[in-house]
Structure 1
Amino acid sequence: MAPLSIALVDDYEVVVQGLAAMIRSYRERVQVVELDANADVARDVDIALYDSFANPQGDSSQVRDLVANPRIGRTIVYTWNFDSERISRAFDNGADGYISKGLSATRLVDALESVHRGDQKVHQLGDGSVRIVAGDWPGREEGLTHREAEVLALITQGLSNAEIAERSALSINSIKTHIRSCYRRIGVTTRTQAVLWGVSHGFVPDRSRQTLDHA
């Protein structure tokens, strides 16, 4: 059986590059043929994997655009957020699958194949499963966690705390906690300083498309 062709979609090139590296060892089963940072999918692919890092969730217009793209076979949301309402809204939006970012690379590839076959749409961590933090994100080398980086990315984009809560599916109190922790890690005390730090450290969304050719 030919490997599934995949387009990885997020507004940050470091995120899609990190995700591509995560599944690179499974080329006989899935081949990443396009990396799209804030750009439309331009090649025919079996799956568009929509990473929710600093992006609207599965009920967004971005996902609807992917679903409507005739070049894409199936659209899958890749996220930390698993409340039942958001899952339902993503499927109402036309998404074909909903996969946890906490899965290992092996389980992620299994899930991609399962959704493509139409076997199981939702793949998440079971009770007692180890939560994997894989891939890459801006600020990781500076010690920011995935969630802190996501919050800082949204601050850099100019979103308010309420808008960040809606975008990330976190509570306002959680947002404030992540902001305080993030500020300590990067050595700032104000939102303006945080934005300036973010702009100079790769937290402005990219716009690029990279097509990958495989032998």
Structure 2
Amino acid sequence: MTTVLIVDDQVLIRAGLAALVRAAPGLEVAGEAATGEEAVELAARCRPDVVLMDIRLPGMSGIAALERILAEAREPKPKVVMLTVFDLDQYVYAALRAGASGFLLKDTPPERLLTAVELIAGGELLFAPSVTRRLIETFARQPGPDREQPARLEALTSRETDVLRLVGQGLTNEEVADRLVVSIATVKTHLNRVMSKLGLASRAQAVVTAYESGLVTPGRNAAPGGS
């Protein structure tokens, strides 16, 4: 059973999400919060598998709450999906850097949102198509392949670098395994080592590192936009 913590300051939206989750087989509502502070407290107490969190909350923002939740959580840390009516670049990038595992708009169809919860609980990333396009466009405007790779990437083996590059392109563990002709378990092992060596807290931060280091260059070796 996948447990879900729902965080939104609007009662009707929070109630609607809770009803949607309760009606889905294999999902269970771990709790509901109206503020970032409540979200941090409930996440520590209930230890949900997934957190659905509004990015714009009164007081502590959703991104600040996300950072606190991941920093204070014991392993396995929850996967956090940011929900918003906006798809602005700064929100997407800030959520990625903070460790979000997904970024969906509030007009996402119910069945797609439930699919997102299932995929993210399994360790994948999921972003609304418009968000993916904006993210790639943002990185494309930044200096690209002539950037020097951070010295810390030198700590990676060639296979770990391959895994980071493919994850940065948006491939799932299964797709990475197919591309490298290895098992999914091997991919997970390499990715865990990458995250440990680079001090990353989530797969999303691995994607950011792949872009920022120049390992993945938008428009040249990134996977097609989408989610």
For normalisation by structure 2, the TM-score amounts to: 0.47
Q: Which has the higher contact order (CA 8 A, sep 6+)?
A: 1
Q: What is the TM-score with the length of structure 1 in the denominator?
A: 0.49
